[in-house]
Amino acid sequence: MDRLDNTIRPYAWGSTTAIPQLLGTEPTGEPQAEMWMGAHPGAPSRTGRGTLVDVIDADPERELGHACVAKFGPRLPFLLKLLAAGAPLSLQVHPDLAQAKEGYADEERRGIPLDAGHRNYKDANHKPELICALTEFDGLCGFRDPVQAADLLDGLGVDSLKPYVDLLHAHPEDAALREVLTAILTADPDEMTRTVADATAACARLGGAYTPYAELAHHYPGDPGVIAAMLLNHVRLQPGEALFLGAGIPHAYLDGLGVEIMANSDNVLRCGLTPKHVDVPELLRIVRFEAADPGVLRPEASPDGEEVYETPIEEFRLSRYVLPEGTAVHDLTRATAQILLCTAGSVRAGEHDLTPGQSVFVPAGERAEVTGAGTVFRATVIV
């Protein structure tokens, strides 16, 4: 197996302290938002044999396993991350596989450069993802019941929000949610700026359930995403709890440190809380206008101590082992490639000693014995 040397991405929303604290390093004063583990061409992990992209390209079946290559092609199907939010991320959705293929092909036909600011589809893949909290973790996930969203908006006492409140009481609920989100994102910018300012003042005054939205407005003053965010479920995960974000589900991460895994894609359509391009017509085509419980996931334990976060996705499978002192050796050998990440304590994976934030890539079929006292996350695929 290969010890991984991973890139930390300094996105502006990143925490300046969470990843350094996990790694036991001194903060630099700059944001450290994500640490990428995998073979994404944007920031592939490095090994003693070259980048993980180079390693896999040299012999995909040896590294990934025959079944994985047959099902997903000659590349690692997932990207594993440490994600540390010190400020809210953009409100966003991801396309399903058919939508991604169609959107990518269309933008390719129209000759839109991949690095263009108004490009929506960077590749032809979908981007389902799972976030598992390492600390308390705040996020927004999926639409609230429209009546509950109406009550939240109405409680602000802002006259310019009354039309949205009335729309949310209309039926059917999917049409009501669509109409309100469309109205928010297409409103006159000056009028929306005033509405957000009035709503922000009310959120700060009322506190309680309104506190997260006052915080959003602090980071994104005047952004229509502040109002759109009130249509969504606010979720606070405890360590070990997780959220699965499927296609078309609007979401945003607000604060906290977690382990994130996703299909290997860059496709994001933004709804707000961002200075970046918002393609309203395409966004409305992708969003699933369904009110639903966000569905907090807790791991399901197996007899051998593996705790699995079950999702309907085959490109990735995330689980963890919480190993107490004196634990016997765990054999994690698998016919598909895997990445093992230590997040607590000290463990030994093969010949590698791992402390929090350190990881290894295990080729398909490679013997993978783990022991020690700590927590290890395991990322692999389902074939």
| Selected catalytic residue, list 270, 320, 334, 378 | 270
Helix (H), strand (E), coil (C) string for the chain? CEECECEEECCCCEECCHHHHHHCCCCCCCCECEEEEECCCCCCCEECCEEHHHHHHHCHHHHHCHHHHHHHCCCCCEEEEEEEECCCCCEEECCCHHHHHHHHHHHHHCCCCCCCCCCCCCCCCCCCEEEEECCCEEEEEEECCHHHHHHHHHCCCCHHHHHHHHHHCCCCHHHHHHHHHHHHHHCCHHHHHHHHHHHHHHHHHHCHHHHHHHHHHHHCCCCCHHHHHCCEEEEEECCCCEEEECCCCCEEEEEEEEEEEEECCCCCEEEECCCCCCCHHHHHHHCCCCECCCCCECCEECCCCCEEECCCCCCCEEEEEEECCCCCCEECCCCCCEEEEEEEEEEEECCEEECCCCEEEECCCCCCEEEEEEEEEEEECCC
Question: Which of 309, 325, 257, 329 shows the shortest CA–CA distance to 78?
Answer: 309
> Is 270 known to be catalytic?
yes
Pair 93, 283: CB distance under 8 Å: yes
Nearest-5° angle of CA 38, CA 41, CA 43?
65
Cα–Cα distance for residue pair 321/111, rounded to 1 Å: 47
The four Cα atoms 340, 341, 344, 345 give a dihedral, to 10 degrees, of 50
Longest dimension (CA), the chain: 65
Residues labelled as active-site residues: 270
